[in-house]
Structure 1
Amino acid sequence: MGTNRAVFESVAYSARCQDCGGQAQWWGVQVLDGGRLRWDTECSCPVCGSGMAVCGGELPAGLRSRMLAEHGPARLRVGASAPNAVVMRVLRAVLGVGLGEVRDVLSGVLAGTHSGTLPEMELLARRLRAAGIDAAAGRPSLP
Protein backbone atom coordinates (compact mmCIF):
# COMPACT_ATOMS: atom_id res chain seq x y z
CA MET A 1 0.00 0.00 0.00
CA GLY A 2 1.20 3.48 -0.74
CA THR A 3 2.74 5.48 2.06
CA ASN A 4 0.21 8.32 1.89
CA ARG A 5 -2.87 6.45 0.75
CA ALA A 6 -5.73 6.40 3.26
CA VAL A 7 -6.63 2.93 4.54
CA PHE A 8 -10.01 2.30 6.12
CA GLU A 9 -12.54 -0.27 7.32
CA SER A 10 -16.13 0.39 8.26
CA VAL A 11 -18.96 -1.18 10.21
CA ALA A 12 -22.71 -0.48 10.37
CA TYR A 13 -24.67 -0.86 13.59
CA SER A 14 -27.83 0.26 15.37
CA ALA A 15 -27.82 2.39 18.51
CA ARG A 16 -30.12 4.71 20.39
CA CYS A 17 -30.78 8.12 18.80
CA GLN A 18 -29.40 10.86 21.02
CA ASP A 19 -32.34 13.13 20.12
CA CYS A 20 -35.45 10.95 20.39
CA GLY A 21 -34.26 7.63 21.85
CA GLY A 22 -35.39 5.65 18.78
CA GLN A 23 -33.22 3.11 16.94
CA ALA A 24 -30.84 4.99 14.69
CA GLN A 25 -28.61 3.53 11.99
CA TRP A 26 -24.94 4.28 12.63
CA TRP A 27 -21.90 3.86 10.41
CA GLY A 28 -18.39 3.95 11.74
CA VAL A 29 -15.07 3.98 9.94
CA GLN A 30 -11.54 3.50 11.22
CA VAL A 31 -9.17 5.48 9.02
CA LEU A 32 -5.41 5.61 8.74
CA ASP A 33 -4.76 9.00 7.22
CA GLY A 34 -1.72 11.20 7.58
CA GLY A 35 0.03 8.66 9.80
CA ARG A 36 -2.73 8.62 12.42
CA LEU A 37 -5.65 6.34 13.23
CA ARG A 38 -9.03 8.01 13.52
CA TRP A 39 -12.55 6.74 14.30
CA ASP A 40 -15.40 8.63 12.61
CA THR A 41 -19.12 7.92 12.98
CA GLU A 42 -22.33 9.22 11.52
CA CYS A 43 -25.96 8.36 12.12
CA SER A 44 -29.39 8.77 10.66
CA CYS A 45 -32.56 8.31 12.68
CA PRO A 46 -35.63 7.09 10.75
CA VAL A 47 -37.87 8.03 13.70
CA CYS A 48 -37.12 11.75 14.10
CA GLY A 49 -35.01 12.40 10.98
CA SER A 50 -32.01 13.71 12.87
CA GLY A 51 -28.49 13.02 11.75
CA MET A 52 -25.08 13.53 13.23
CA ALA A 53 -21.41 13.06 12.39
CA VAL A 54 -18.60 12.77 14.92
CA CYS A 55 -15.02 12.83 13.66
CA GLY A 56 -12.04 11.68 15.65
CA GLY A 57 -11.78 9.51 18.69
CA GLU A 58 -10.95 5.92 19.51
CA LEU A 59 -12.52 2.82 18.00
CA PRO A 60 -14.73 1.28 20.72
CA ALA A 61 -13.62 -2.26 21.68
CA GLY A 62 -17.01 -3.84 20.90
CA LEU A 63 -17.10 -2.32 17.44
CA ARG A 64 -13.45 -3.28 16.85
CA SER A 65 -14.38 -6.91 17.58
CA ARG A 66 -17.34 -6.66 15.22
CA MET A 67 -15.19 -5.09 12.50
CA LEU A 68 -12.65 -7.91 12.85
CA ALA A 69 -15.45 -10.49 12.64
CA GLU A 70 -16.96 -8.88 9.52
CA HIS A 71 -13.75 -8.10 7.61
CA GLY A 72 -11.34 -10.63 9.09
CA PRO A 73 -8.06 -9.78 10.77
CA ALA A 74 -5.15 -8.26 8.89
CA ARG A 75 -1.65 -9.45 9.72
CA LEU A 76 1.68 -7.69 9.96
CA ARG A 77 4.63 -9.32 8.22
CA VAL A 78 8.28 -8.30 8.49
CA GLY A 79 11.30 -9.42 6.51
CA ALA A 80 13.26 -12.36 7.91
CA SER A 81 16.37 -10.22 8.34
CA ALA A 82 14.63 -7.49 10.36
CA PRO A 83 16.68 -6.59 13.45
CA ASN A 84 14.57 -7.46 16.51
CA ALA A 85 15.74 -4.40 18.45
CA VAL A 86 14.51 -1.99 15.77
CA VAL A 87 11.18 -3.80 15.39
CA MET A 88 10.70 -3.77 19.17
CA ARG A 89 11.49 -0.05 19.37
CA VAL A 90 8.85 0.75 16.74
CA LEU A 91 6.27 -1.57 18.32
CA ARG A 92 6.80 0.01 21.74
CA ALA A 93 6.47 3.52 20.34
CA VAL A 94 3.32 2.83 18.33
CA LEU A 95 1.55 0.47 20.72
CA GLY A 96 2.67 2.13 23.95
CA VAL A 97 3.61 -1.18 25.57
CA GLY A 98 6.36 -2.07 28.01
CA LEU A 99 9.39 -4.24 27.42
CA GLY A 100 7.78 -7.45 28.69
CA GLU A 101 4.68 -7.02 26.55
CA VAL A 102 6.57 -6.00 23.43
CA ARG A 103 8.47 -9.30 23.48
CA ASP A 104 5.15 -11.14 23.17
CA VAL A 105 4.06 -8.84 20.33
CA LEU A 106 7.41 -9.32 18.57
CA SER A 107 6.97 -13.08 18.85
CA GLY A 108 3.58 -12.80 17.14
CA VAL A 109 4.94 -10.50 14.43
CA LEU A 110 7.83 -12.87 13.65
CA ALA A 111 5.47 -15.87 13.61
CA GLY A 112 3.02 -14.03 11.33
CA THR A 113 0.22 -14.24 13.90
CA HIS A 114 0.05 -10.63 15.15
CA SER A 115 -3.21 -9.24 13.81
CA GLY A 116 -5.70 -6.39 14.05
CA THR A 117 -7.75 -4.20 11.78
CA LEU A 118 -6.24 -3.35 8.41
CA PRO A 119 -5.67 0.32 9.37
CA GLU A 120 -3.94 -0.75 12.62
CA MET A 121 -1.61 -3.18 10.87
CA GLU A 122 -0.87 -0.74 8.04
CA LEU A 123 0.10 1.93 10.61
CA LEU A 124 2.62 -0.49 12.13
CA ALA A 125 3.92 -1.48 8.69
CA ARG A 126 4.42 2.16 7.66
CA ARG A 127 6.26 3.01 10.87
CA LEU A 128 8.46 -0.06 10.46
CA ARG A 129 9.23 0.84 6.82
CA ALA A 130 10.15 4.38 7.96
CA ALA A 131 12.66 2.74 10.34
CA GLY A 132 14.19 0.76 7.45
CA ILE A 133 12.37 -2.53 8.06
CA ASP A 134 10.78 -4.49 5.22
CA ALA A 135 7.17 -4.72 6.45
CA ALA A 136 3.73 -5.26 4.96
CA ALA A 137 0.16 -5.46 6.20
CA GLY A 138 -2.63 -7.47 4.64
CA ARG A 139 -5.08 -10.27 4.99
CA PRO A 140 -3.96 -13.86 4.57
CA SER A 141 -4.80 -15.29 1.19
CA LEU A 142 -7.65 -17.74 1.01
CA PRO A 143 -6.67 -21.29 0.01
Structure 2
Amino acid sequence: MRDASGLPSPLGFWHWSGKTYGARPGDWLEVQRLGGNVNLALLLHWLDLASLSADLTALQPALVQTEAVLAPWRTLRQNAKARLDEAEYQAMLAHELELEQLQQGVLLQSLRAHPPRREPGHNLLNYLTLLGAETGPLRDLTC
Protein backbone atom coordinates (compact mmCIF):
# COMPACT_ATOMS: atom_id res chain seq x y z
CA MET A 1 0.00 0.00 0.00
CA ARG A 2 2.95 2.34 0.54
CA ASP A 3 5.15 3.77 -2.19
CA ALA A 4 8.84 4.71 -2.01
CA SER A 5 8.01 7.83 0.04
CA GLY A 6 6.35 5.73 2.73
CA LEU A 7 2.97 7.19 1.86
CA PRO A 8 0.09 5.18 0.48
CA SER A 9 -0.54 5.02 -3.24
CA PRO A 10 -3.68 6.91 -4.29
CA LEU A 11 -5.52 3.69 -5.14
CA GLY A 12 -4.32 1.94 -1.99
CA PHE A 13 -5.44 4.88 0.13
CA TRP A 14 -8.81 4.97 -1.66
CA HIS A 15 -9.42 1.31 -0.80
CA TRP A 16 -8.19 1.72 2.79
CA SER A 17 -10.43 4.79 3.19
CA GLY A 18 -13.45 2.92 1.90
CA LYS A 19 -12.99 0.17 4.47
CA THR A 20 -12.22 2.58 7.30
CA TYR A 21 -15.12 4.89 6.43
CA GLY A 22 -17.46 1.95 5.88
CA ALA A 23 -16.86 0.64 9.39
CA ARG A 24 -18.18 3.89 10.95
CA PRO A 25 -19.85 6.08 8.29
CA GLY A 26 -21.96 8.10 10.73
CA ASP A 27 -18.94 8.98 12.83
CA TRP A 28 -16.91 10.12 9.80
CA LEU A 29 -19.86 12.15 8.51
CA GLU A 30 -19.90 13.95 11.86
CA VAL A 31 -16.59 15.51 10.77
CA GLN A 32 -18.32 16.87 7.66
CA ARG A 33 -21.31 18.07 9.67
CA LEU A 34 -18.92 20.08 11.85
CA GLY A 35 -17.42 21.77 8.78
CA GLY A 36 -14.46 19.45 8.41
CA ASN A 37 -13.32 17.32 5.52
CA VAL A 38 -13.72 13.55 5.72
CA ASN A 39 -10.91 12.81 3.26
CA LEU A 40 -8.51 14.96 5.26
CA ALA A 41 -9.61 13.31 8.51
CA LEU A 42 -9.07 9.85 6.98
CA LEU A 43 -5.60 10.85 5.77
CA LEU A 44 -4.71 12.22 9.19
CA HIS A 45 -5.89 8.98 10.79
CA TRP A 46 -3.76 6.98 8.35
CA LEU A 47 -0.74 9.15 9.23
CA ASP A 48 -1.36 8.56 12.93
CA LEU A 49 -1.44 4.81 12.38
CA ALA A 50 1.84 5.06 10.42
CA SER A 51 3.47 7.15 13.20
CA LEU A 52 3.91 10.13 10.88
CA SER A 53 3.29 13.75 11.75
CA ALA A 54 2.05 16.17 9.07
CA ASP A 55 1.77 19.93 8.83
CA LEU A 56 -1.96 20.51 8.55
CA THR A 57 -1.53 24.01 7.12
CA ALA A 58 0.46 22.59 4.19
CA LEU A 59 -2.59 20.54 3.18
CA GLN A 60 -5.03 23.47 3.21
CA PRO A 61 -4.37 24.62 -0.39
CA ALA A 62 -5.19 21.13 -1.67
CA LEU A 63 -8.49 21.23 0.22
CA VAL A 64 -9.43 24.68 -1.02
CA GLN A 65 -8.69 23.67 -4.62
CA THR A 66 -10.69 20.45 -4.56
CA GLU A 67 -13.57 21.58 -2.33
CA ALA A 68 -14.31 24.33 -4.88
CA VAL A 69 -15.51 21.54 -7.20
CA LEU A 70 -16.62 18.85 -4.76
CA ALA A 71 -18.79 20.87 -2.37
CA PRO A 72 -21.12 22.35 -5.02
CA TRP A 73 -21.51 18.94 -6.68
CA ARG A 74 -22.36 17.32 -3.35
CA THR A 75 -24.96 20.02 -2.65
CA LEU A 76 -26.45 19.64 -6.14
CA ARG A 77 -26.71 15.87 -5.73
CA GLN A 78 -28.33 16.17 -2.30
CA ASN A 79 -30.83 18.77 -3.50
CA ALA A 80 -31.69 16.84 -6.67
CA LYS A 81 -32.20 13.49 -4.95
CA ALA A 82 -35.98 13.81 -4.60
CA ARG A 83 -36.38 14.75 -8.29
CA LEU A 84 -34.17 12.04 -9.82
CA ASP A 85 -34.87 8.44 -10.64
CA GLU A 86 -32.55 5.91 -9.05
CA ALA A 87 -30.25 5.55 -12.09
CA GLU A 88 -29.75 9.33 -12.37
CA TYR A 89 -29.08 9.64 -8.68
CA GLN A 90 -26.57 6.77 -8.74
CA ALA A 91 -24.79 8.42 -11.70
CA MET A 92 -24.47 11.65 -9.72
CA LEU A 93 -23.25 9.73 -6.68
CA ALA A 94 -20.68 7.87 -8.80
CA HIS A 95 -19.35 11.18 -10.11
CA GLU A 96 -19.14 12.53 -6.57
CA LEU A 97 -17.09 9.49 -5.56
CA GLU A 98 -14.74 10.17 -8.50
CA LEU A 99 -14.31 13.71 -7.17
CA GLU A 100 -13.68 12.34 -3.68
CA GLN A 101 -10.99 10.05 -5.07
CA LEU A 102 -9.47 12.99 -6.95
CA GLN A 103 -9.42 15.01 -3.73
CA GLN A 104 -7.59 12.21 -1.94
CA GLY A 105 -5.02 12.11 -4.72
CA VAL A 106 -4.44 15.86 -4.51
CA LEU A 107 -4.07 15.63 -0.73
CA LEU A 108 -1.49 12.86 -1.11
CA GLN A 109 0.36 14.87 -3.76
CA SER A 110 0.44 17.85 -1.43
CA LEU A 111 1.69 15.63 1.37
CA ARG A 112 4.51 14.36 -0.84
CA ALA A 113 5.51 17.98 -1.50
CA HIS A 114 5.59 18.59 2.30
CA PRO A 115 6.69 15.19 3.63
CA PRO A 116 5.50 14.22 7.08
CA ARG A 117 7.98 13.80 9.89
CA ARG A 118 8.78 10.28 11.09
CA GLU A 119 7.44 10.76 14.57
CA PRO A 120 4.21 9.84 16.24
CA GLY A 121 1.70 12.56 15.61
CA HIS A 122 -1.68 13.46 16.90
CA ASN A 123 -2.88 14.52 13.48
CA LEU A 124 -6.50 13.44 13.78
CA LEU A 125 -6.83 14.65 17.36
CA ASN A 126 -5.43 18.07 16.38
CA TYR A 127 -7.91 18.29 13.50
CA LEU A 128 -10.86 17.18 15.63
CA THR A 129 -9.84 19.77 18.22
CA LEU A 130 -9.89 22.49 15.55
CA LEU A 131 -13.42 21.38 14.70
CA GLY A 132 -14.49 21.30 18.34
CA ALA A 133 -15.01 17.54 18.13
CA GLU A 134 -12.18 16.22 20.29
CA THR A 135 -14.71 14.52 22.56
CA GLY A 136 -16.89 13.31 19.68
CA PRO A 137 -17.45 9.83 18.29
CA LEU A 138 -14.04 9.55 16.59
CA ARG A 139 -12.11 10.31 19.77
CA ASP A 140 -11.34 6.64 20.25
CA LEU A 141 -9.45 6.61 16.93
CA THR A 142 -6.95 9.24 18.00
CA CYS A 143 -3.51 8.12 19.06
Question: TM class, shorter-chain normalised?
Answer: under 0.3
Higher relative contact order (CA 8 A, sep 6+): 2
The TM-score with structure 1 as length reference comes to 0.26
> Which structure's residues are more often helix, by fraction?
2
> Which structure's residues are more often strand, by fraction?
1
The TM-score with structure 2 as length reference comes to 0.26
